[in-house]
Amino acid sequence: MYFTDRRRLIDMYLTYLGYCNRQDLISQIDIGTATASRDFQTYKAAYPKNLLLNQNKKRYEATPEFTAAYEHDIPSVLTFLTTETWPIEHKNPGFGCQHQFSLPHGMNQNYVSAITRAIANHRAVDVSYCSANSGTTHRRIHPHAIMTNGLYWYTRAYDEDKREFRNFRLSRLLETKDALDAPYIGQESDRSWVHLVTITIAPHPNHQNTKAFLSDLGLEGKPLINIRTSEAMTGFLLSSLRVDCSESQKMDHNQFPFVLLNRHELVDISSMVIAPGFMTQ
């Protein structure tokens, strides 16, 4: 993980978690305890209204007046928070297309960081959310996780209005406000998140050379692959892998190179509604 300005790393932790300590810096950068302490003092000197020391918890915390000092790359931060990896800054050697297109992510740092801070501190959030079906609505949610389907980022949260756990696309947040007085409903109550299922997929039978697609999955001498995932992520995974989930397996095999073999075991999983072909019979 590479930061030319270590104050940016401190600011990232305060923005997206609401707290940071010396060990956070030491674990990410090859520095000593004394250097980490100086970094906090340097940050505090530059942005005195952004942090305070919590002696009981032995960490610095964002103040109520906190304002992010940096504009952080949101997808990179979310990748770090969900996978503990960080895209390394480097000079591009020029192997790619000179005219690559990157789809704008549409996420707002203030709204996304409100969600990640809520997860880190076990809090609910009042949000304005633009749904494709319902338009703009106001609701109180209890986020407990962040996930991606490879294109969009989502938070998994309990929706007080619907009285169930749902997935909310982070780019559709229009406003956020901490709900400090609300008892938190967390991950342990989300059965679909903690319950694991097995997905069995294989190359589409309409392909003439299935060996090529087995190679895509790193399979040698195996006709299929079993993947363990949570119920809540099942539809996302099948969608990102472009798996034909129809009962007839008649979808275009060029667009959907794999088929779902144990569809009958997954029919009662709510996230399957977004699996390719599952609803079109």
Mean pLDDT over each residue of the chain, to the nearest integer: 91
Quick check: 30 pLDDT over 70?
A: yes
For 119, residues 6+ apart whose C-beta sits below 8 A from its C-beta are: 143, 144, 145, 146, 155
Report DSSP state, residue 259. E
For 54-110, write each residue's pLDDT tens digit.
999 999 999 999 999 999 999 999 999 998 777 666 666 777 776 666 677 899 999
Asked if the structure places residue 86 within a domain, the reply is no
Asked if the structure places residue 80 within a domain, the reply is no
Q: Which domain holds residue 114?
A: 109-187
For 53, residues 6+ apart whose C-beta sits below 8 A from its C-beta are: 59, 60, 61
For 184-205, write each residue's pLDDT tens digit.
999 999 999 999 999 999 999 8
234 and 177 share a domain?
A: no
Q: In what order do the strands lie in the sheet with 243-244?
A: 225-230, 196-203, 258-260, 243-244
Asked if the structure places residue 103 within a domain, the reply is no
**Beta-bridge mates of residue 149:** none
More confident residue, 38 or 30: 38
At 133, the pLDDT band (50, 70, 90 cuts) reads confident
222 and 180 share a domain?
A: no
Strands 173-179, 196-203: pairing is: unpaired
Query: Cβ atoms within 10 A of the Cβ of 20, count?
Result: 25
For 225-256, write each residue's pLDDT tens digit.
999 999 999 999 999 899 999 999 989 999 99
- Give the CATH number, domain containing residue 151: 2.30.30
| Number of domains into which the chain is organized | 3
Q: Is there a contact between 174 and 216 (Cβ–Cβ < 8 Å)?
A: no
Predicted structure pTM score: 0.86
Q: Which residue has the tokens 């990896």?
A: 85
Asked if the structure places residue 41 within a domain, the reply is yes
Q: What string of DSSP letters covers 27-49?
A: HHSS--HHHHHHHHHHHHHH-TT
232 and 256 share a domain?
A: yes
Query: Cβ atoms within 10 A of the Cβ of 216, count?
Result: 11
